[in-house]
Amino acid sequence: MSFALKTIVLTGASAGIGRSLSISLAQQGAHLVLAARNQEALEETLAACTKQGGKAIAVPTDVTQPEACQRLIEEAISAFGQIDVLVNNAGISMLTRFDEVTDLSIFEQVMQVNYLGAVYCTHYALPYLKANRGLLVAISSVCGKTAVPTRTGYVASKHAMQGFFDTLRIELRGSGVDVLVVSPGFVATEIRQRALGANGQPLGQSPRDESKGNMSVGECVHQIVWAMERRKREHIMTLKGKVTPWGKLLLPELVDRIAAYAARATTATQK
């Protein structure tokens, strides 16, 4: 699939993976509809895409609001007349043990952004994707495949996202619309700094050393574009992510112990 002159709607475009992916697609001559809550940062992404030669518009959007998602799709059609690709990338995280949570609204916030935001945008974009035999992309996580301690709400939202798009893929058989679920591992973005803590407030710092062991944003985006070009059904980026589902089937207790050990190691480096 070539993205030249294709209209691509991309949520979470103001930072991290979304921003870099937008710029990469602009370099290929895509028509971009950029969405995020932070208007100032979104305008910076817009300027970067335009500088690369792509046509783009910025539509400030809170994906937790169905009306905002509907308006996003309407703006895309008004500007470019069609939608060829929808990339559901908007996301937030959480980092705390469940028994330490003091603000249960964390779970609503994470589910609304990561899961329901994707549902809303997909609902309004789907008729146009069907008309153009387009591509649906969900930027999920290896957390959508397995349990990760201290991320109960995030893991639940990514499991929901995985289940939704896997089911939708079956429903769309024969429609010409392909569904791609992308599952990165740890990527060197600011998502963990912005993750919600036990009190519902952003942590402000990552418990991980972001300079070690994390995939670069550039490599992550390269793999996403590669999978999009081939209209794959799924792309898991790490060996651990590929092996873990099989491990859960064959040696579930061992997988649990490994996950618990990794969580303790992360906590130890934070202290």
Active site residue 154: yes
Would you place residue 97 in the very low, low, confident or very high pLDDT band (cuts 50, 70, 90)?
A: very high
Its pTM stands at 0.90
Cα angle 226-230-235, degrees, rounded to a multiple of 5 = 60
Helix pair angle (39-51, 16-27), 10° resolution: 30
Residue 259 lies in a domain: no
For residue 6, the model assigns a pLDDT of 97
Structural domain range at position 163 = 7-238
Give me the mean pLDDT over the 89-97 stretch.
Answer: 94
**String of b and e for 106-127 (b: at least 16 CB within 10 Å)?**
bbebbbbbbbbbbbbbbebbbe
Would you place residue 268 in the very low, low, confident or very high pLDDT band (cuts 50, 70, 90)?
A: very low
Give me the mean pLDDT over the 228-235 stretch.
Answer: 97
Best CA proximity match to 123, nearest among 60, 187, 171: 171
Give me the mean pLDDT over the 39-57 stretch.
Answer: 95
> What mean pLDDT value characterizes the chain?
90
For residue 67, the model assigns a pLDDT of 98
For residue 244, the model assigns a pLDDT of 74
Full DSSP string of 130-146: HHTT-EEEEE--GGGTS
Beta-carbon count within 10 A of 40 CB: 9
Residue 249 lies in a domain: no
Which one of the listed residues 115, 128, 154, 261 is annotated catalytic? Answer: 154
Residue 250 lies in a domain: no
Residue 251 lies in a domain: no
For residue 191, the model assigns a pLDDT of 67
**How many structural domains comprise the chain?**
1
Residue 257 lies in a domain: no
Residue 131 lies in a domain: yes
**Does 81 have pLDDT greater than 70?**
yes
CATH number at residue 221: 3.40.50.720
Best CA proximity match to 10, nearest among 121, 128, 104, 127: 121
- Cα 103 to chain centroid distance, Å, stands at 24
**Does 187 have pLDDT greater than 80?**
yes
Would you place residue 264 in the very low, low, confident or very high pLDDT band (cuts 50, 70, 90)?
A: low
Give me 161's structure tokens. Answer: 């996202």
Residue 186 lies in a domain: yes
Residue 41 lies in a domain: yes
